[in-house]
Structure 1
Amino acid sequence: MNTKNSPLVENKEGRKTALITGATSGIGRATAHEFAKQGINLILCGRRQERLDAIQHDLEKQVDVHTLNFDVRDKKATFEAIESLPENFKTIDILINNAGNAHGLDPIQTGDTDDWDAMMDINVKGLLYVSRAIIPQMTERQTGQIINIGSSAGKEVYPKGNVYCASKHAVLAITEGMRIDLNPFGIKVGAINPGLVETEFSQVRFKGDTLADNVYKGFKALQPEDIADIIYFAISRPAHVNIADMLVLPTAQASSTIIKKTN
């Protein structure tokens, strides 16, 4: 684990601070840009330091930015990274649990157990580690908001999606459990569940195979900026309003297996 401090910039009075996991690409990166546009200070987390550096360089003229380079699967590194935050970044108002992935698309009988471990470790355990490191400060202040990025796969199971779907169903169960447990502290908890979003997701899932090239052909998929806009909508509601659970699909997608494509 290593961390990189942003240049010392005086915190703007009243600005909130958001921590975003999986901030180096896709929805996480788009959310960082949206939050910066809205004047929210940022703690950006990811495994690729060079990408964190590039995003920091892009955004630090708008807001204060700090980067944390660690893997959410590593419990020790996760807690150490968050503990290492400098004083002006220690108060985290908004947590966006975005880090997640899919590995493989195999029937259960031929599934790769390493793929299963990766999905459960990142999508479920990683989310839990980051949340456990941050929630106590929110309960102490009795304020804060957590958005967990789920998936339409958390709403239905599709062929060969077995373990990935299970991990995203778990995200929704954890979200509901968080909302119940944190209700006495006034902490908002919700899940945003996208359908097909055009990101690096399919390249990772198919491990660089050309199958990934066909996933988004023939229809207009959601873009990372679409989800970032919705995440900002959720965190900008009045104090008495909580977006608890939202399913977002491209117009062409009716379900995980029904997509209207042009020839």
Structure 2
Amino acid sequence: MEDFNSYFSSAFLGKKIMITGGSTGIGRAAAILLGSLGAQCIICGRHQEQIDDTLQAISARNRLNSFGIAVDLSSEDGVAQLFKEADEQLGKLDILINNAALGYGSILEGGYEDWQYILDTNLLAYMACSKEAIVRFKEQGSGQIINIGSMSADVREESSSVYVATKAAIQGFSESLRKEVNPLGIKISLIEPGAVDTDMQEASQEEKQEQIKNQEMLRAEDIAWAIAFCIAQPPASDVVNLKIRPTMQII
């Protein structure tokens, strides 16, 4: 096998990658990093201004055009619209990064419609996007899905029962789906981060920067590198579950 640096530097060139929730947080950091490594990305989010800002950051580091679309993945129409755009703009798809998700607290908060929206966004959209990607991957005999989960699937914090339910479900979904699609040449990786500086964290930016300094919180860029690590594996190697947490987040 060629040396690591040569292999890694070529592992992303020309790859067609879809990143849901790609306009903020982990998704934005991943889009910028993968774009800088030579991939062509399509991202989605709910706000066009954030999408445009991310695309501008990608284009500053990559000559390939990347694309973005404002959609709400909690609906079947939103998922269909995203993949229609991907087919038109990219022509094919090599990798899906399921990342779009919303935070939520306890089942004692809100009502049925609130929980339904979180489940549709955090779980059903992962499932629907995976199905659409697999349809395309089967035709070409290869592909990869990277699901961004959470440590909450294992830690199961108090007063976070709705969010925990969705992330525990993503964990089970990923493990079962891998057994189903690996024989088709499709890889499934699950990344479960600990605390990360994203919009889900309610602390002020100053407080989050202090936590990062104290190694109690990760940067979104740290998870982007974990995503790149999963993608850069040789064909016969599959990162099944990657747990990445701040050194001083003792859980």
Same fold (TM over 0.5): yes
Pairwise CA distance, 1:36: 0.9
Q: Which residue of 1 aligns with 2:219?
A: 223
Quote the offset at 1:131 in angstroms: 1.5
Residues in 2 aligned to 1:230 and 1:141: alpha-carbon distance in whole angstroms: 26
Q: Which has the higher helix share?
A: 2
Q: CA deviation at 1:181?
A: 1.1
Equivalent in the alignment of 1:154: 153
Give 1:3-82 correspondences, 5 Å limit: 15-61=14-60, 62=62, 63-82=64-83
Q: Give structure 1 stretches of 5+ with no counterpart.
A: 1-13, 204-211, 256-263
Shift in Å, 1:85: 3.3
Superposition TM-score, scaled by structure 1 size? 0.82
Deviation, 1:121, is 1.4
Q: Deviations over 1:15-64 (max 9, x none)?
A: 11100000111100000011011100011111111111122122235122
Question: Which amino acid counterpart does residue 251 of structure 1 have in structure 2?
Answer: T
| Structure 2: unaligned runs, 5 residues or longer | 1-12
Equivalent of 1:246, from 229, 242, 246? Answer: 242
1:111 offset after TM fit, Å? 2.4
Amino acid corresponding to residue 82 of structure 1 in structure 2: F
Say which SS state the counterpart of residue 31 (structure 1) adopts: helix
Deviations 1:193-233 (A, max 9, x none): 00000111124xxxxxxxx3397455331000000011001
Could you tell me which residue of structure 2 aligns to residue 95 of structure 1? 96
**Range with bigger deviation, 122-131 or 214-223:** 214-223
Q: In 2 relative to 1, CA 240–86 (structure 1 residues): closer, same or farther, beyond 3 Å?
A: closer
- Percent identical residues: 32
Aligned to 2:109: 111
**Distance between the aligned counterparts of 1:202 and 1:124, measured in 2?**
20
Q: State how far apart, in whole Å, the 1-side matches of 2:59 and 2:156 are.
A: 41
Alignment partners' CA distance in 1, 2:162 and 2:38: 38
Partner amino acid, structure 1, of 2:66: V
Q: Pick closer, same or farther for the CA change 1:151–1:215 going to 2, 3 Å.
A: farther
Aligned ranges 1:68-217 → 2 under 5 Å: 68-85=69-86, 87=88, 89-103=90-104, 105-106=105-106, 108=107, 110-113=108-111, 114-203=113-202, 212-213=203-204, 216=208
List 4+ stretches of structure 1 deviating above 6 A.
Answer: none
Once the two structures are overlaid, the 10-residue window that deviates more, 235-244 or 76-85, is 76-85
**CA separation of 1:202/1:117 partners in 2, compared to 1, >3 Å: closer, same or farther?**
farther
Match of 1:51, as an amino acid? Q
Question: More displaced, 16-25 or 133-142?
Answer: 133-142
- Taking only aligned residues, the RMSD between alpha carbons, in angstroms, comes to 1.8
